[in-house]
Amino acid sequence: MLKIENLSAEIGGKQILNGLTLTVPDGEVHAIMGPNGAGKSTLAYVLGGRPGYEVTGGSVSFNEVDLLEMEPHERAAAGLFLGFQYPVEIPGVSNVQFLREALNAQRGARGEDPLSGGEFLKLAREKAALLKLDMEMLKRNVNVGFSGGEKKRAEMVQMGILDPKLAILDETDSGLDIDALRVVGEGINTIMRLPGKATLLITHYQRLLDVVKPDYVHILADGRIVKTGGPEIAVRLENEGYEEVMAA
């Protein structure tokens, strides 16, 4: 599904990723953990195609297609979804309007017919119920006046509606209380734990991984993967910290 080989990248002339190699097969959830400044968000932004991040070496393939040669909207149409650590507010644009336009743009790029207003609302209600988000929230402007937890749940509704093949989720657990964390984690499982899908989950804490239960956990430090193992790595990091675990 996703194959990264010796990826290096910089922003503003500062090298952040240093020969990062990682493979996420179809049907798996991989978690990335690491200290602040390790390059976790940079990796997410490079994969999503955010401007300002320059790839200086290596390659990335997504379903055997060169991801780095695609524009951001082409990556989205191909099935890549990027969940932000800090979802932005868009005053004057309702969630329903934004999501319908986004979905139909992607369907058009794939040669599919657009959904009618009624078809879209039925889909939106289904995904909002899954994430326990009041449908009235989707009628409001995108993330305006939302709490941190509401923004993250709304973003997961967006993921459910767009139905990506690959989800890259950058600290989705940030700002969530215990109940919202479980709802979001179970939403990730329901939406992405299916054949033909894969997830790259960036997090600082074990608590989300207790719900999502990744297949592998990778530690990213100094711009590259330095350790890989099962969910037990996250438990050790919680108890011992990065320095102890990486030294071992």
Residues contacting residue 47 through CB under 8 Å, at least 6 positions apart: 2, 60, 67, 75, 80, 82, 168, 200
Number of Cβ within a 10 Å radius of residue 207: 16
Structure tokens at 61: 């393939």
pLDDT digits (tens, 9 = 90+) for 62-94: 999 999 999 999 999 899 999 887 788 889 888
Work out the average pLDDT over 22-26: 95
Q: In this structure, which topology does domain 2-247 adopt according to CATH?
A: Rossmann fold (3.40.50)
- Reported confidence tier of residue 248, pLDDT bands at 50, 70, 90: low
**243 pLDDT more than 80:** no
